[in-house]
Amino acid sequence: MPETVLLETGQTVVTRGMAIVTPGVFDFLGGVRPVKGRLFDPTEGRAGQNDRVLVSETVWRSLFGADPGFVGRTITVNRERLVVVGILPADFRFPSADTVLWKPTDLASRPGELARAYVRFASVMPREEALRLATDAARAADAANASLRPWVYTLAGVDDEYSKRAVPLLAGGVGLVFLVLCANVCGLLLARLTARRREFSMRAALGASRGRLIRQAVVESCLLGTLGVVLGAALAWALVSVARALMPEPILLQTLNPLNLGARALAATSAAGVLATLASGLLPAWLGTRVDAGDSLRVVDRGGTEARGARVLTRGLLVVEVTFACTLLLGATLLTRTFVNLTHAERGLVTSSVTTLWLSMGEAVAKDPAARLTLTRSVEEDLRQLPGVRYLAWSYGVPPRGGMTSFGEWISDQPGVPPITVVLDRYIVSPDFFRLYEIPIVKGRTFTPADTFADVIVSERLAKMLWPGSNPLGHTFRFMKDSFRVIGVAREIHLPAIDARLDRPQFYHPYTTVAFTPMISMRCDSRCPEPAVIRHWLASTEPTISIQDVRPADQDYARQLARPRASAALAGAFAAVAVIAAAGGLFSVLSYAVSRRRREFGIRTALGASPRQIRRLVLRDGVVIAGVGLLLGAVFAAWLARALASLQYGITPRDPLAWSMVLVFLALTTVAASWAPATAAARFDPLVLLREE
């Protein structure tokens, strides 16, 4: 089972994720090899041999300076001395993304222990069949209420449906950016080779074959491509280093874990570079070297326009760039608006200036109600001495981490209401919990010391499910063998999420005699102390407790938004690259076309055309190209918007604001990219052109 533990490193104490596993789990996973030392042997984990630990390479390097004698050394985890027997690779994370320590256990000697069982099925077995067999095994083990789900989607500790849906779409975004850049480079290379037509004509007149000219153009493209791959890999390495140094560890674990640039990434980069070089270099080489040896005899190239093939290709590539830029920009806009909506969604409670602490009192104290009550009062008195503390509340579970997740049939005492099957969050709270989080009791009352565990406060949504159209106060409901009586109804609290299953109804038990690992919430004024100060204060005043975690409550909501934030940021980066490439390509192509049409514009000016008319002529070319691209982009963008529907919150694929923002922005970008070439065309002096003739 994964848990958060305290790891002592010299004079400091840090929190890290640890999993208690059976020794054979690494053989079960297959391919796990330690960087140093060894894995657990089958006897470790039994009584007297459970003081071993495996450590991640990340911890070894970042906290212990890559000490070469680290294996065999003793470290302190939750005040327990453990011997390091091996170091596992940094990119190995099991069973959750933040797990960096592993301790052995023997389940046979710990009957009744809550545990997760992992089953590996053959890759050819259908998922439905695998889940059916797992369900049968759970029932045979008398675990009918076991939660069954693929591990790959729970690596971060939750059902990561968002990542499962977002990653393929973001990978598609990478492909679109790749195509946009290839099209951009292809257009620029074609313009460059077309400008060298007289050079190629001279070479042809001197005996160079068409194949040799093509080979020369391709070699030049390959040199540029190789340089681009090298610079791209160097830039990627620099960005990864900066991200790992500056991004908070929780964000990395939630979104980009592991974040490194390994051999496979470099191989993929090199392969993409080769593909990009071939895709963007062959066609320009073929068209740009189609020359006539007689062209070399002309002193001046009097052609006023580009070759027809080159013109069609460059315009077509620009249309493709604008199309993909429009598609990516709409996707980025929808994801960004989703993130903004999630950030500002109604939560039903107030977490600003709230700090949560997760404490461990020791098994003996936790199971002794009198000792636990004495210790909780002592901790409360200590914390109230800190400056700025206004309210304190004990609980098991805090939003948005949730409490006890319970699923099954909930049976109302109201006649005619069928049992409901729903997943609920159950919190065990002290009376001040509602005042601290500003959760109103809309009906009934809050808890008193006389209440028992069976007296509960339900949320508004659960009340409507179990007693539709009735006042739930005084009613009862059953879950499995337990019965509960409603004494109050609290306002619904929400976890704004893409996956609606994570926003569950809730109800509350009084924090009285139940032995659970406690959490305490503190609301402070502007003088709220930092988590490090709180940790140091409690460690000095209450040495008998272990402080598992201290963090602002808002940080938990920020972690819940890590994936939507990362998706919006990546999509925005993709869209920015595509728009810049499309705008740069439009500017370059129009500038090249204007330079080729100088003679035409000079004649038009000599015949009476005004600078405004010349400028309008060039602007019209840019607008036509962008217009066709936008029409095609709207079709692709509409398809993408529907594909993103499962990742959107508070908006629809036809969101008018998003579409308007995209179209207006691309229209302004088109005008901006076309304005400089159009202005340059309007400034041509016909007398200068005649002197050149």
DSSP sequence for 324-374: HHHHHHHHHHHHHHHHHHHHTS--SS--TTEEEEEEE--HHHHT-HHHHHH
Examine the pLDDT at 676 and tell me if it is beyond 70.
Answer: yes
Q: Is residue 128 part of a domain?
A: no
Percentage with pLDDT > 70 across the chain = 81
The token duo for 104 is 């052995």
**Model pLDDT for residues 378-396, shown as the tens digit of each residue:** 888 888 888 888 899 988 8
- Kindly tell me the burial class for residue 660, based on how many C-beta atoms sit within 10 Å of its own C-beta (0-12, 13-18, 19 or more): exposed
Per-residue pLDDT, 148? 53
Same domain, 96 and 170: no
Does the residue 533 lie in any domain? yes
The predicted model scores a pTM of: 0.74
Average model confidence (pLDDT) across the chain: 80
Residue 122 falls inside a structural domain: no
- Shared domain check, 175 and 106: no
Same domain, yes or no: 556 and 567? no
Q: Check residue 468 and give its pLDDT.
A: 93
State whether 366 and 276 are in the same domain. no
Q: Which of 479, 449, 482 is nearest to 462 (CA)?
A: 479
| For residue 466, pLDDT beyond 90 | yes
What does DSSP assign to residue 46?
A: B
Task: Indicate whether 221 belongs to any domain.
Answer: yes
Q: Which pLDDT belongs to residue 255?
A: 54
User: Which amino acid is residue 240, in one-letter code?
Assistant: V
Number of domains in the chain: 3
Token match 């997943």: residue?
423
Of 560, 580, 597, the residue at which a domain comes to its end is 560
Which region among 159-168, 180-189, 667-676 has the lowest average model confidence (pLDDT)? Answer: 159-168
What's the chain's Rg over C-alpha atoms?
33
Shared-domain flag, residues 538 and 632: no
121 within some domain? no
DSSP 527: T
The rounded distance, in Å, linking the Cα atoms of 221 and 284 is 10
Instruction: Work out the angle at residue 124's Cα, subtended by the Cα atoms of residues 123 and 125, and round it to the nearest 5 degrees.
Output: 95
Q: Are residues 490 and 417 in the same domain?
A: yes
CB 68 within 8 A of CB 84: no
The closest alpha carbon to 513, from 457, 452, 458, 455, belongs to 452
Q: Is residue 126 part of a domain?
A: no
CA dihedral 252, 258, 263, 266 (to 10 degrees): -30
Residue 630 counted as domain residue:
yes
Give the pLDDT score at 303: 47
Provide the 10 A C-beta neighbour count for residue 411: 17
- Please check the confidence at residue 300 and state whether its pLDDT lies above 50: no
Residue 686, preceding peptide bond in cis (omega within 30° of 0): no
Poorest-confidence range of 275-289, 315-329, 414-428? 275-289
Residue 188 above 60 pLDDT? yes
pLDDT at 228 over 90: no
Phi and psi at residue 58, to the nearest 5°: -60, -45
Using CA atoms, how far apart are residues 159 and 520, in angstroms rounded to an integer?
26
Whether 4 and 358 have beta carbons less than 8 Å apart is answered as yes
The predicted pLDDT at position 363 comes to 60
- Two structure tokens written together for 236: 């990627």
**Do both 384 and 503 map to the same domain?**
yes
**Structural domain contains residue 148:** no
User: Does 476 or 195 have the greater pLDDT score?
Assistant: 476
Cα–Cα dist 49/41, whole Å: 10
336: confidence class by pLDDT, cuts 50, 70, 90: very high
Query: Are 51 and 66 part of one and the same domain?
Result: yes
Q: Residue 481 sits in which domain range?
A: 354-560
Q: Are residues 640 and 505 in the same domain?
A: no
Same domain, 177 and 261: yes
Examine residue 250 and say whether the peptide bond preceding it is cis (omega within 30 degrees of 0): no
Q: Is the same domain home to 536 and 435? A: yes
CA gap 622, 668 in Å, rounded: 12
Q: Are residues 94 and 189 in the same domain?
A: no
Q: Cite the beta strand spans of 116-241 per DSSP E.
A: none
80-88 and 36-37 strand pairing: antiparallel
Backbone angles phi, psi at 148, to 5 degrees: -110, 130
Q: pLDDT tier at 683 (50, 70, 90 boundaries)?
A: confident
